[in-house]
Amino acid sequence: MEFGNSYVQGVYDGLAKRYPEQKEFLEAAGNVLKSLVPVVEANPEIEKQGILERITEPERTIMFRVPWVDDAGKVQVNRGYRVQFNSAIGPYKGGLRFHPTVTLSVIKFLGFEQIFKNSLTTLPMGGGKGGSDFDPKGKSDAEVMRFCQSFMTELSKHIGPDTDVPAGDIGVGGREIGYMYGQYKRLRNEFTGVLTGKGLTFGGSLARTEATGYGLCYYVEEMLHCMKNDSFKGKTVVISGAGNVAIYATEKATQLGAKVIALCDSNGYIVDNNGIKLDVVKQIKEVERGRIKEYAARVPGSEYHEGCSGIWGTKADIYLPCATQNEIDEDSAKKIVANGAIAVGEGANMPSTPEAIKVFQDAGILFSPAKASNAGGVAVSGLEMSQNSERLHWTFEEVDAKLEDIMKTIFHSCYDAAEKYGMKGNLVAGANIAGFEKVCEAMLAQGIAY
Ligand code: NDP
Ligand code: 2IT
């Protein structure tokens, strides 16, 4: 990667040399470093104080063995991770991902992105991420419980309500958070807000389940309004994924007057030109933990196609990738542009490859980067921490109104930061810069330990 600045180039080249196998982390770090070149050039303290070298190296990386017993009585072993990336502006905060593709590189990319995302929310949260290569798919409830208990037995030594507060991500929802919370409480004899995304009966926040998907739509609505004098109303929308983020993005886009016509899982995608029936999707995915293919069998007039990438060939006005990283490559991006899209809003973390982002930017379509437009989940996690600290519950309406306000504020921070550095309309650069500025200021103020 070329940066046109010798300091930034040196930082990136150093990372590439030290972590040649960490493809996802290098992709995320390269993207952020590229946006920061004008900031570095305007502020010599950044180089002098080694801010970029420090911010790209986690404060702490914890890797551990997770042994558990399956239903047949056999011992299984997975690997657990928690990367505590940056605590300059608050306790480490970020989700846990349980998926067979989890590696240190994946957790590092997610933890790195989380630093800037959490800063953008305006709330006092540092960046972290964790997870395991455990695959919850096809496991019984009892197996998932034993895995979560074993995972937390080690993780509990490293987290705490004022130290590090994990939450959900791919493969970790209310069920897993509940089992992990129970184990933490058993081990520590403490009832604290050590995890977010908890059940509503034990400290969870209303609207946390909906927050990422709803927040994504609030952000995109504001982007459409401010940059194109437009809105979701009357638009067709393609959404990838069929999990937590995709489901609640579908719900909010529909409430805002759009018609969502496609969803997918890792096996294939469905198209329903009459508009996705979300009650059917919720029944299949949230209640039965089934496959999205079932939808086509239950809803006449809808179709199922094997394979995921075909979803980007489905014509729509707005695309919201909400499944996983690098799900939109250059070819898929070209299809989206050829379909006449007006906007792409990232719900998943880093769903578009750098080549895909270039295609969108060259075509002049609106593009909102993940760390800005999917920050609603962690923002409401921050509000859950506030409620836990004051031992109160806020109403759904109160949390939802705060979420909408935070998402609009994030849009304007990104827009304004891009404009300030001469890149008007480039929300990728704006999000990286606006997220970085607060963390950088805090790091400079706190000095380093000799
Ligand atoms: P879920 O586990 O609830 O759902 C993930 C969905 O994406 C499932 O439908 C899954 O299909 C699909 N998926 C996963 N991997 C792939 C793949 N390789 N190819 C195609 N589809 C895939 O996770 P979430 O909805 O919580 O997370 C989705 C994305 O949003 C992730 O990138 C996550 O990091 C991000 N995110 C989540 C937040 C949250 O609050 N939950 C907050 C901010 C970002 P299948 O069932 O077949 O695996
Ligand atoms: O990627 C993310 O922002 C999340 N998975 C949510 C993290 C959180 O702490 O709520």
Is the pLDDT confidence value at 23 over 90?
yes
Q: Distance (Å, rounded) from C-alpha 381 to C-alpha 404?
A: 14
Which among 170, 239, 281 is the best mutation to test ligand 1's pocket, defined by most ligand atoms within 8 Å of the CB?
A: 170
> Residue 238: CA atoms inside 13 Å, Cβ hemisphere, count?
27
**Structural contact between residues 239 and 260, judged by C-beta atoms closer than 8 angstroms:** yes
Of 180, 183, 220, 185, give the one whose Cα is nearest residue 196.
180
What is the atom index within ligand 2 of the atom nearest the CA of 375? Answer: 3
Cβ-contact 374, 407 below 8 angstroms: no
Work out the burial of residue 106: count CB atoms within 10 Å of its CB; fewer than 13 is exposed, 13-18 middle, 19 or more buried. Answer: buried
Return the pLDDT at 114: 98
Nearest partner of 446 among 196, 136, 139, 126, judged by Cα: 126
Contact 8, 42 (CB under 8 A): no
Q: What is the pLDDT of residue 450?
A: 78
* CB of 348 sitting under 6 A from ligand 2: no
Cβ neighbours of 174 (radius 10 Å): 17
Q: CA nearest 382: which of 397, 394, 370? A: 394
Give bridge partners of residue 84 from the DSSP assignment.
60, 128
CA proximity to 370, closest of 124, 117, 120, 122: 117
Mean pLDDT of the chain: 98
Is residue 449 scored above 90 in pLDDT?
no
Nearest CA to ligand 1 atom 46: 265
Q: In which region does residue 122 sit, left (phi positive, over 0), alpha (psi from -120 to 50) or beta (all else)?
A: left
Q: State which ligand 2 atom lies nearest to the alpha carbon of 168.
A: 5
Condensed to tens digits (0 to 9), the pLDDT of residues 38-68 reads: 999 999 999 999 999 999 999 999 999 999 9
Write out pLDDT tens, residues 370-388: 999 999 999 999 999 999 9
pLDDT of residue 338 exceeding 90, the answer is yes
Q: What pLDDT digit, counting tens, does each position of 202-225 carry?
A: 999 999 999 999 999 999 999 999
* CA R_g for the chain: 21
Q: Is 190 exposed, middle or buried (0-12, 13-18, 19+ CB in 10 A)?
A: exposed
pTM, two decimal places: 0.98
Contact 173, 248 (CB under 8 A): no
CA of 44 from ligand 1 middle (Å) equals: 40
* CB of 352 sitting under 6 A from ligand 2: no
Residues 133-170 have pLDDT tens digits of: 999 999 999 999 999 999 999 999 999 999 999 999 99
DSSP states of 348-389:
SSS-B-HHHHHHHHHHT-EEE-HHHHTTHHHHHHHHHHHHHH
129 in active site: yes
Q: Is 252 in the pocket of ligand 2 (CB under 6 A)?
A: no
Strand segments, DSSP code E, in 133-275 are 164-167, 236-240, 259-264, 268-271
Label residue 172 by pLDDT band (50, 70, 90). Answer: very high
pLDDT of residue 13 exceeding 90: yes
Residues 55, 439: contact at Cβ < 8 Å? yes
The CA–CA distances, whole Å, from 429 to 38, 65, 104, 360 equal 10, 38, 26, 14
Model confidence pLDDT, tens digit, residues 348-374? 999 999 999 999 999 999 999 999 999
**For the chain, what percentages of helix, strand and coil (3-state, to nearest 5) are there?**
50, 15, 35
